[in-house]
Amino acid sequence: MKESIIKYFKNGVLPFVLLSVVLFYLQDQWLIINTDDFAFSTISEFALDDDGNQIIIHDRPVTSFLDAVKSQAACYMKYNGRFVVHTITQWFCGTKTEGFFVIINSLVWAILFLSFSMLAFGKEKLSLANLVIAFSVLWLLMPNALRMFTGAVSSAVNYMWSGAANMVVLLLFNWLCRNKDKSIPLITTLLITLFSLLTGSMQESFSIGISAGLIVYAIIHYKKLPRAAFVLIAAYLIGTALCAFAPANFVRSDQLGHVIRWHVIADLLKIPVFSLTLILMVATSFIRPAIVLDIIKSNIVIVVSIVVNLLFAIFVAYTMAWQLTCISLFSAILLLQLYHRLISNKALKIGIACLAACCTMLVYVPMYGYRQDVWKAQHQMMDEALTSKTGLISLKQAFEIDKKYANSRLAPILWIYLRNQVTPLVSNDQYVLPSMLSKYLTHCSNPHLIQALLPDEAQVIADAFNSDEKFKLAGNEAVYFDAYTVIRNKDSNSCQLENHVPCQSWDYDGMSYQMFFGRIPTE
């Protein structure tokens, strides 16, 4: 053990892992919290509305780990089956400081990065050049990498923590298979079993595919598989079942219905790491098919997991690109294995690693500045909300920060993969967001602290109605303001549009305003 540590320190592996943690921490210290984090800071409870429909309410703050457990026990029955990751998320969002989370998150990153590299290259093939390549692949080619790994608390726990835990499970499984003739201590087996059970229950977009991969592997290698490996598989399958077959998933399924989502394939092809892996694997199969066949045969669990998780996303449940995180991570492992097999020249590997490091830093530096600017804008908004007398909060500064990246020539890298979208603060979940943010800032003591979040100052929007750009829309005065349609009327009951749902509503200077996302055409 001591000799291995000395070896990895001398060849630069451990110093680079530490450097990667420092780089991660520097980004993550500018933690951008989102709507989910606001909601997770409160206890999820269920009640009946006036029509007898069951609704979720957030009236009390999370003040302890027990509160988080009680909240997710209710959610497990009626809202979401991710009991483990959401309990962790609620605990952090409700009771811990952002700084504390960033430290823990950076440690989880170290586990993800090291386990990912070991799965890609193997313990004996870890080198400084290979780690630099692995870091660049994770940082640049993963979908929404910044948002999932160093973004909001809820995103990081759901996807990075789940990714790290599942990578460790695969490493443990490989270790058990390699040591089939050795006696495993009972306490070690019990710890592995418990860890596998918890990991399987974390995230269905990981565990369903991995479960299928483990089953296929067990069938193929039934006679060679040690008993401890079967125990790991069984525990992981139980955890997966606890998450996938949670009562809440059937409740949501009945509410949302089922649609075959073939567009997931198009979404997946937009993810650089998957597209690159697919192209290179197909191309290599024509030139050196033995390499591709060997990679597939030695990665049965990963390959099956990619296929099954893709089918799961298409036919059962899919929301956004981050639901494809498991597929992306596993594609990255295959990509790095292919790279390692095709590139054997040491000098060439060092050259590629240097190029990758330069590309990563070209993105890392502006990303760091952007994160810092957005963090400052968000906290300025929160400070403004706590001292506001009108409850009308301007997001102008955040929009201005976002625009220079939206229009950047470095897009789509900076725009798609590195920016934390500010626009959803205005365009999504508007009936609950001002209330949820208010509860987050006041620990549920004042849910009406914020009336509306606006793209500019309320007076600036009001002044726009005095310009020549004003027009009539369904009997209301209307203007196009930025990417929105804003209408106003003296009577709040008349200030509405048929077949259109407002994303924000507020009163200002004796007039009622409603804002709609997009530019609604005139009649």
| Same domain assignment for residues 435 and 315 | no
Does residue 167 or residue 2 have the better pLDDT? 167
522 within some domain: no
16 within some domain: yes
49 within some domain: no
pLDDT at 462 over 70: yes
Q: What token pair was written down for 51?
A: 């029509």
For residue 259, give the 3-state DSSP assignment.
coil
Q: Please, what's the largest Cα pairwise distance for the chain?
A: 83
Q: How far apart are CA 82 and CA 240, in angstroms?
A: 10
The DSSP secondary-structure symbol of 61 reads B
pLDDT at 164 over 70: yes
Q: How far apart are CA 142 and CA 149, in angstroms?
A: 10
| Last residue within a domain, chosen from 279, 307, 342 | 342
| Same domain assignment for residues 164 and 298 | yes
Give 476-522 pLDDT, tens digit per residue: 899 998 888 999 998 877 787 888 888 888 999 999 999 888 888 87
Per-residue pLDDT at 162: 95
Per-residue pLDDT at 413: 55
| Same domain assignment for residues 261 and 407 | no
Distance of CA 431 to the CA centre of its chain: 23
Give 106-144 pLDDT, tens digit per residue: 999 999 999 999 999 987 778 899 999 999 999 888 765
Per-residue pLDDT at 289: 94
410 within some domain: yes
| Last residue within a domain, chosen from 342, 372, 400 | 342
Look at the pTM and tell me if it is higher than 0.85: yes
pLDDT at 315 over 90: no
Give 390-441 pLDDT, tens digit per residue: 999 988 888 788 777 666 655 555 555 555 555 555 444 444 578 888 999 9
Output the CA–CA distances (angstroms, integers) from residue 100 to 21, 33, 499, in the order listed. Answer: 15, 14, 45
| Same domain assignment for residues 425 and 459 | no
Q: Quick check: 269 and 275 in contact, CB under 8 A?
A: yes
Per-residue pLDDT at 432: 59
Does residue 403 or residue 312 have the better pLDDT? 312
Q: Band of the pLDDT at 146, cuts 50, 70, 90?
A: low
pLDDT at 99 over 70: yes
| Last residue within a domain, chosen from 277, 309, 342 | 342
Angle, in degrees to the nearest 10, between helices 13-28 and 128-136: 20
Q: What is the number of structural domains in the chain?
A: 3
| Same domain assignment for residues 396 and 503 | no
Per-residue pLDDT at 173: 96
| Same domain assignment for residues 291 and 365 | no
62 within some domain: no
Q: What percent of the chain has pLDDT over 90?
A: 49
| Same domain assignment for residues 337 and 361 | no
492 within some domain: yes
| Same domain assignment for residues 382 and 324 | no
Per-residue pLDDT at 429: 44
213: containing domain: 2-30+97-342
Lowest-pLDDT range of 143-152, 224-233, 458-467:
143-152
| Same domain assignment for residues 334 and 391 | no
Per-residue pLDDT at 420: 53
Angle (CA) 111-39-503 rounded to 5° is 120
Output the CA–CA distances (angstroms, integers) from residue 486 to 294, 482, 495, 504, 516, in the order listed. Answer: 60, 10, 10, 9, 6
Q: Quick check: 159 and 148 in contact, CB under 8 A?
A: yes
Q: What token pair was written down for 142?
A: 């993963």
Mean pLDDT rounded to a whole number for the chain: 86
| Same domain assignment for residues 334 and 477 | no
* Residue 477 bridge partners (DSSP): 472, 488
Output the CA–CA distances (angstroms, integers) from residue 460 to 19, 159, 246, in the order listed. Answer: 46, 40, 49
Q: Quick check: 61 and 42 in contact, CB under 8 A?
A: yes
52 within some domain: no
326 within some domain: yes
Helices (H), 270-389: 272-287, 289-297, 300-315, 325-342, 346-387
| Same domain assignment for residues 306 and 372 | no
Q: What token pair was written down for 517?
A: 């996302």
| Same domain assignment for residues 261 and 311 | yes
